[in-house]
Amino acid sequence: MKTVSGGVCAAKGFRANGIHCGIRKNKEKKDLSLIVSDVPAATAAVYTTNLVQGAPIAVNKRHLKNGVSRGVVCNSGIANTCAAGGEELAEEMARCAAEALGVDEKDMLVASTGVIGPSLSMEPIRAGMPALVAGLSENGSESAARGIMTTDTRVKEVAVEFTLGDKVCRIGGIAKGSGMIHPNMATMLVFITTDAAISSAMLQKALSGDVKSTFNMLSIDGDTSTNDMVVVMANGRALNRPILRDGADFRMFMQALNTVTVALCRRIAADGEGATKLLECVVSGGSEPAVAKAVAKSVICSSLLKAAMFGADANWGRVLCAIGYAGVPVDVKKIDVAFRSDAGTVEVCKNGAGIEFSEEEAKKILLRDEIEILVSLNDGDAAATAWGCDLTYDYVKINGDYRT
């Protein structure tokens, strides 16, 4: 498997674009994106489990009953959530894109991200649609990725190439993250495309299985968004023998999907609101997978640990504390903890108790921008990884006055 460029347009038969249409006041900021498959694509999606849900989610559930779509239209700036008549607006957004593309409105998916509460105005979307469609291109992934960004500071796209039988396939995605990131059974906005031929059912199985160890193991701030959504579209243009059941091809596809989703998770975490560091908590030796997962996620979510990492402070007691309240059975006396970065590794806790270590060495390691928190439970074979970021002054600044 190798990494390739092109994001959601890396796979054959996908075009994308993003423009500024006027939902946002800042003309420098794109606010409307479109991803389109040249042919109908098997499509799978997972959504937030928040009871308060963005209006686009209800629309997508209806449109995806047949497991097929042609594309996704997405705006940023306003979340179209908790606003009167939201579903009608989301349907209208799909219709507007479908008409401009000459496809069935039931084949268009919709997504929105931004402030919860205000009504989404259709005027700028309607006015911008011709230019959005005219600009669709096989080089448009970055532009679409920019159109879905909110407080994100970096474009997030990734793609890989792999082989099924004698066919070269590609799968790639774009994502937005940054704040209100603590996905639960679903995630922020992630759009993934592949030219592999795979049935909707197997695609959904692949996605639903994957998110449990990828997006659901990601947390920026503990807030599960109302609009989380991951969509994968597979248009079959790679001409591989279609994946219709479990087997070697499905496992290969899962591996490719996982490579893309893990890379997107890491980029979302590294670009969390205000973040200066990517944190990765790698848990090994768990008595069972659920234990390893709960421990990894509890550590990555600790405000105290996140602040300590910002300060490059090897305050490992906060790691132990977070493991202790993870809500799963662990034997505290068996736990080892170390911090690792490209500057080295420092062991700080052995058998649940502190050990001597060089604070200077630890500081050097923790001053890097990608930190691994290594937790060995020494109680079995289960492992899990969770991703997050440090808690910084800028997180407070960004969220103390987000709406103005």
Catalytic positions: 187
Considering only residues 26 to 55 of the shown chain, the ones binding a copy of itself according to CB under 8 A are: 49-53
Nearer to a copy of itself by Cβ, of 144 and 218: the residue is 218
The answer to whether residue 304 forms part of the interface with a copy of itself (CB under 8 A) is: yes
Give the full edge-to-edge strand order of the sheet including 278-286: 353-354, 344-350, 336-341, 370-376, 278-286, 382-389
Phi-psi group of 180: left, alpha or beta (phi > 0 → left; psi -120 to 50 → alpha; rest → beta): left
Considering only residues 70 to 89 of the shown chain, the ones binding a copy of itself according to CB under 8 A are: 79, 81-84
**DSSP string computed for 80-133:** --SSTTHHHHHHHHHHHHHHHHTS-GGGEEEEEEEESSSPPPHHHHHHHHHHHH
Both tokens of 21, joined, read 């249409």
The answer to whether residue 223 forms part of the interface with a copy of itself (CB under 8 A) is: yes
Considering only residues 235 to 254 of the shown chain, the ones binding a copy of itself according to CB under 8 A are: none
Residue (of 323, 295, 271) closest to 145 by Cα position:
271
The answer to whether residue 352 forms part of the interface with a copy of itself (CB under 8 A) is: yes
Considering only residues 322 to 351 of the shown chain, the ones binding a copy of itself according to CB under 8 A are: 322-325, 329-330, 332, 349
Spatial separation of the C-alpha atoms in residues 206 and 236, rounded to whole Å: 16
Nearer to a copy of itself by Cβ, of 5 and 351: the residue is 351
CB 85 within 8 A of CB 120: no
Q: How far is CA 42 from the centre of its chain?
A: 20
**Minimum separation from the CB atom of position 243 to a copy of itself (A):** 34
The answer to whether residue 307 forms part of the interface with a copy of itself (CB under 8 A) is: yes
The answer to whether residue 226 forms part of the interface with a copy of itself (CB under 8 A) is: yes
Residue (of 96, 112, 114, 37) closest to 70 by Cα position:
37
Count of residues binding a copy of itself (CB under 8 A)?
63
CB 111 within 8 A of CB 71: no
Nearer to a copy of itself by Cβ, of 172 and 183: the residue is 183
Nearer to a copy of itself by Cβ, of 130 and 311: the residue is 311
At a CB cut-off of 8 Å and minimum separation 6, what does 247 contact?
none
Q: Which stretch binds a copy of itself (CB under 8 A): 95-103, 128-136, 381-389, 395-403?
A: 395-403
The answer to whether residue 367 forms part of the interface with a copy of itself (CB under 8 A) is: no
Nearer to a copy of itself by Cβ, of 17 and 225: the residue is 225
Among 14, 162, 215, 310, binds a copy of itself (CB under 8 A): 310
The answer to whether residue 321 forms part of the interface with a copy of itself (CB under 8 A) is: yes
At a CB cut-off of 8 Å and minimum separation 6, what does 102 contact?
none
The answer to whether residue 392 forms part of the interface with a copy of itself (CB under 8 A) is: yes
Among 33, 151, 302, 341, binds a copy of itself (CB under 8 A): 302
Spatial separation of the C-alpha atoms in residues 41 and 401, rounded to whole Å: 41
**Minimum separation from the CB atom of position 307 to a copy of itself (A):** 3
Number of Cβ within 10 Å of residue 168's Cβ equals 14
**Minimum separation from the CB atom of position 316 to a copy of itself (A):** 7
Q: What is the CA radius of gyration of the chain?
A: 21
The answer to whether residue 222 forms part of the interface with a copy of itself (CB under 8 A) is: yes
Token pair 């993250």 in the structure block, residue: 177
Considering only residues 126 to 185 of the shown chain, the ones binding a copy of itself according to CB under 8 A are: 179-180, 182, 184
Nearer to a copy of itself by Cβ, of 166 and 360: the residue is 360
Residue (of 53, 136, 132) closest to 90 by Cα position:
53
Residue (of 255, 259, 207, 240) closest to 64 by Cα position:
207
Report the interface residues with a copy of itself, using CB under 8 A: 49-53, 79, 81-84, 115-118, 179-180, 182, 184, 221-226, 301-304, 307-308, 310-311, 313, 315-318, 320-325, 329-330, 332, 349, 352-354, 391-393, 395-404
